[in-house]
Structure 1
Amino acid sequence: MKALLSSKPVLWFLFLFNLVVAVAAPFAVHGTQGVMTAVGMGVVSLGAGSALLRGRPARRVTG
């Protein structure tokens, strides 16, 4: 599972999807729930983005 989550396509998906949700959440859900959703998704997006910037070579899944 770790090798799958560290692959570049998955990291790009996590980065972009969570970034879009973080930006749209306060407009779709009003109040504290929207803000907390945006913060949570933003943290996940930043984590995926930082993993992409580190330039770690993606591991190949074998077997």
Structure 2
Amino acid sequence: MATVTRLHAAMLTLPEVCTELQVSRSTFYDWRQKGRAPRCITLPNGSLRIRRADLDNWLNARQDAA
């Protein structure tokens, strides 16, 4: 059970990511369509999840590119 909880904690919802990045959902989907968003996992119900590590790596890559 603790492992499942840790895995869930490492997965962010789209609203959590948008809040952290201070962007709208439509902006995130635009980035995703253009291949510029962090890697996403699509759940069977269509919801998106983003691994914390993938978001952190994506942010670090943006910093180096600036």
- Tell me which protein shows more helix as a share of its residues: 1
TM-score by length of 2: 0.26
- Tell me which protein shows more strand as a share of its residues: 2
TM-score by length of 1: 0.26
